[in-house]
């Protein structure tokens, strides 16, 4: 099948490479000429395990190509995927500029029936907008060509995107058209052999499914973080409570790890956008808004714990920071809790010595050269001359620590762990104060 994909960002590249890998002919198109030139030289602009090899193999096999030529792109695929960015507007709503620009391009150049597939996460009602833009372009050209617009949201986790694409739990397609159903069956057939994962539904339901899934997951995280904060005040250990509740299959163990807040490119943006949509349709969604507020507060917890440990005196201190990425196995720092912490520390006059296995370049790109930031080349280099250690990301490399050696290196015996990586007893046995989320020395019962 011939498939065109607009947008060679994270979602577009993963979708393109995976669809080419199962035998489709894929043409990826992007307005960024520099990016396309790099891709044509075999350079992959993002870090995602397995993606570079997949792109290399499928380019070599001639099934995956990259271009900036929109005319060629529209002529190429029966399916025209839209996988461009939908950043947040100032008010939190999704900015559809890029999506509608692609719709315009398709309408301007199409000469035969096309199926437009909305892959980007877009607010409910976007498919209708895309349809209107294409119809207006065709009108302008005095053409009456048939076309369909469907919604096919992605559920890819960074760091596991290829696995998620190939073995995800469902493939959601919002459409009323039989022609679209049959084309999408053909497109996803190779991924749909063992079990029928295709779920056809209304366009608006598909659009809302994506937001509902992310909002539900973000709710689980904010919920457990709220309980962790309560545990701190009640003298309970959140890790024991987590086991206690997770054992109920109705609740389950997944996605209830307490931490220093969720980040990344999806949850923060999508939760905000859904809250905005809810306001817009006259049903202010109280839970969704609370999920976001709890997360914003959670991101300031690590700084608060440092203030507690140093009695508010952070000026001139050097803080070692392990983990800059918003989660392990990515170099992505979008909305990462590490950023809220670093920015608060700089504001308070402290220095940061950070180490991350992948995100150092991204950190340099975001913050540039500054006197109060040192990017260490290896984990324990970040500890040299530091007053305290803070952990923001649960990279595997941070899980094994010689606490005696750590105690000997740190100027003050303070460890703040935003991911609850260690048993409190083993940290404390080395004479270190251990502040974690809802456990360890953060737990100060105030009730009798
Ligand atoms: C997420 C969704 O999982 C995916 O389905 C959607 O398509 C895009 O958004 P991603 O942003 O890559 O994917 O990351 P994910 O692994 O889901 O983690 C999101 C954030 O939640 C991270 O900051 C992580 O640290 C945090 N998290 C996750 C917790 O704090 N506790 C948990 O129990 C799980």
- pTM here? 0.93
Same domain, 187 and 264: no
Evaluate: CB of 223 within 6 angstroms of ligand 1.
Answer: no
Same domain, 186 and 269: no
Same domain, 279 and 379: yes
Report the C-alpha gap between 7 and 81 in whole angstroms: 9
The 3-state secondary structure of 278-329, one letter per residue: HHHCCCCCHHHHHHHHHHHHHCCHHHHHHHHHCCCCCCCCEEEEECCCCCCC
Evaluate: CB of 346 within 6 angstroms of ligand 1.
Answer: no
Asked if residue 231 is part of any domain, the answer here is no
* Ligand 1 atom nearest 330 alpha carbon: 12
* Ligand 1 atom nearest 263 alpha carbon: 23
- Residue at token pair 């024991």: 240
Report the C-alpha gap between 345 and 371 in whole angstroms: 13
Report the C-alpha gap between 82 and 173 in whole angstroms: 14
147, 178, 201 - which closes a domain: 201
Which of the 8 DSSP states describes residue 189? G
Ramachandran quadrant class, 71 (left: phi over 0; alpha: psi -120 to 50; beta: rest): alpha
Asked if residue 298 is part of any domain, the answer here is yes
Asked if residue 120 is part of any domain, the answer here is yes
Digit-coded pLDDT (tens) for 174-184: 999 999 999 99
In the residue annotation, 266 being an active-site residue is answered as: yes
Asked if residue 83 is part of any domain, the answer here is yes
Rounded to the nearest angstrom, the distance between the alpha carbon of 61 and the centre of ligand 1 is 34
What is the CATH classification number for the domain harbouring 396? 3.40.50.720
Contacts of 225 (CB under 8 A, 6+ apart): 258, 259, 261, 294, 295, 298, 437
CA distances to 158, 190, 250, 373 from 187, in Å: 23, 8, 35, 48
179, 201, 223 - which closes a domain: 201
Rounded to the nearest angstrom, the distance between the alpha carbon of 427 and the centre of ligand 1 is 27
- Determine the 3-state secondary structure of 423 from DSSP: coil
Which residue CA neighbors atom 22 of ligand 1 most closely?
A: 262
Q: Is residue 263 marked as binding?
A: yes
Evaluate: CB of 215 within 6 angstroms of ligand 1.
Answer: no
Evaluate: CB of 256 within 6 angstroms of ligand 1.
Answer: yes
Q: Work out whether strand 147-151 and strand 414-417 pair parallel, antiparallel, or are unpaired.
A: unpaired
Report the C-alpha gap between 430 and 250 in whole angstroms: 39
User: Could you tell me if 68 and 36 are in contact, meaning their C-beta atoms sit under 8 angstroms apart?
Assistant: yes
Same domain, 300 and 427: yes
Asked if residue 217 is part of any domain, the answer here is no
Task: Output b/e per residue, 240-272; b: 16+ Cβ within 10 A.
Answer: ebbeeebeeeeeeeeebbbbbbbbbbbbbbbbb
Same domain, 263 and 356: yes
User: Could you tell me if 49 and 358 are in contact, meaning their C-beta atoms sit under 8 angstroms apart?
Assistant: no
Active-site pick, 150, 266, 363, 392: 266
Asked if residue 216 is part of any domain, the answer here is no
Q: Is residue 255 marked as binding?
A: yes
Same domain, 40 and 189: yes
User: Could you tell me if 337 and 261 are in contact, meaning their C-beta atoms sit under 8 angstroms apart?
Assistant: yes
The reported pLDDT for the residue numbered 194 is 86
Structure tokens at 314: 């952070």
Structural domain boundaries enclosing 122: 2-201
Q: How far apart are the first and last CA of the chain?
A: 69
The reported pLDDT for the residue numbered 446 is 62
Same domain, 412 and 299: yes
Same domain, 159 and 246: no
175, 201, 227 - which closes a domain: 201
User: Could you tell me if 316 and 244 are in contact, meaning their C-beta atoms sit under 8 angstroms apart?
Assistant: no
The reported pLDDT for the residue numbered 87 is 86
Diameter over CA atoms, the chain: 79
Same domain, 195 and 299: no
Same domain, 53 and 168: yes
Evaluate: CB of 165 within 6 angstroms of ligand 1.
Answer: no
- Determine the 3-state secondary structure of 10 from DSSP: helix
Structure tokens at 320: 């070692």
Asked if residue 225 is part of any domain, the answer here is no
Which one of 207, 217, 398 would you pick to mutate in the ligand 1 pocket, going by the greatest count of ligand atoms within 8 A of its CB?
217
Same domain, 316 and 194: no
Report the C-alpha gap between 225 and 259 in whole angstroms: 7
Residue 29 neighbours by CB distance under 10 Å: 28
Kindly state the helix (H) or strand (E) to which residue 171 belongs, with its residue range.
Answer: strand 171-174
Digit-coded pLDDT (tens) for 333-387: 999 999 999 999 999 999 999 999 999 999 999 999 999 999 999 999 999 999 9
Same domain, 379 and 250: yes
Asked if residue 226 is part of any domain, the answer here is no
Report the C-alpha gap between 304 and 225 in whole angstroms: 15
Report the C-alpha gap between 4 and 391 in whole angstroms: 42
The reported pLDDT for the residue numbered 349 is 98
Evaluate: CB of 70 within 6 angstroms of ligand 1.
Answer: no
* Beta strand residue intervals within 325-432, DSSP E: 351-355, 373-375, 388-391, 414-417
Number of domains, the chain: 2
Residues of the chain with pLDDT under 70: 445-448
């Amino acid at each position: 099948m011939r498939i065109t994909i607009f947008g060679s960002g994270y979602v577009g590249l993963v979708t393109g490479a995976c669809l080419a890998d199962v035998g489709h002919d894929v043409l990826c198109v992007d307005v960024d000429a520099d990016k396309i030139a790099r891709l044509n030289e075999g350079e992959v602009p993002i870090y995602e395990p397995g993606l570079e090899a997949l792109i290399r193999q499928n380019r070599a096999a001639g099934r995956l190509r990259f271009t900036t030529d929109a005319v060629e792109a529209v002529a190429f695929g029966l399916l025209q995927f839209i996988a461009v960015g939908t950043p947040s507007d100032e008010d939190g709503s999704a900015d559809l500029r890029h999506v509608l620009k692609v719709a315009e391009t398709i309408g301007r150049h199409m000469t035969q029936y096309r199926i437009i597939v909305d892959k980007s996460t877009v607010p409910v009602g976007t498919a209708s907008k895309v349809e209107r833009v294409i119809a207006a372009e065709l009108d302008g050209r005095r053409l009456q060509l048939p076309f369909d617009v469907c919604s096919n949201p992605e559920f890819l986790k960074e760091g596991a995107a290829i696995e998620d694409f190939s073995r995800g739990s469902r493939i959601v397609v919002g459409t009323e058209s039989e022609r679209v159903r049959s084309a999408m069956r053909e497109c996803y057939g190779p991924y749909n052999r063992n079990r029928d994962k295709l779920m056809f539904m209304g366009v608006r339901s598909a659009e809302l499914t994506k937001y509902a899934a992310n909002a539900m997951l973000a709710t689980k995280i904010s919920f457990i973080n709220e309980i962790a904060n309560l545990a701190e005040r009640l003298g309970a250990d959140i890790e024991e409570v987590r086991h206690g509740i997770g054992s109920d299959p109705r609740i389950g163990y997944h996605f209830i790890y307490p931490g220093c807040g969720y980040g990344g490119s999806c949850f923060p943006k999508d939760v905000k956008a859904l809250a905005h949509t809810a306001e817009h349709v006259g049903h202010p969604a109280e839970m969704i808004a609370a999920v976001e507020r709890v997360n914003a507060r959670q991101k300031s917890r690590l700084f608060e714990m440092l203030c507690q440990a140093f009695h508010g005196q952070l000026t001139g201190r050097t803080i070692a920071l392990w983990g800059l990425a918003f989660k392990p196995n990515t170099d992505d720092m979008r909305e990462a809790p590490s950023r809220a912490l670093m920015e608060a520390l700089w504001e308070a006059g402290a220095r940061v010595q950070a180490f991350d296995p992948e995100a150092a370049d991204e950190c340099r790109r975001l913050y540039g050269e500054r006197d109060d930031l040192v990017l260490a080349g290896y984990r324990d280099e970040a500890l040299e001359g530091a007053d305290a250690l803070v952990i923001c990301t649960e990279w595997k490399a941070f899980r094994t620590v010689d606490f005696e050696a750590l105690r000997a290196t740190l100027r003050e015996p303070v460890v703040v762990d935003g991911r609850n990586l260690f048993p409190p007893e083993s940290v404390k046995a080395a004479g270190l104060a251990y502040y974690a989320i809802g456990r360890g020395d953060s737990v100060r019962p105030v009730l009798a």
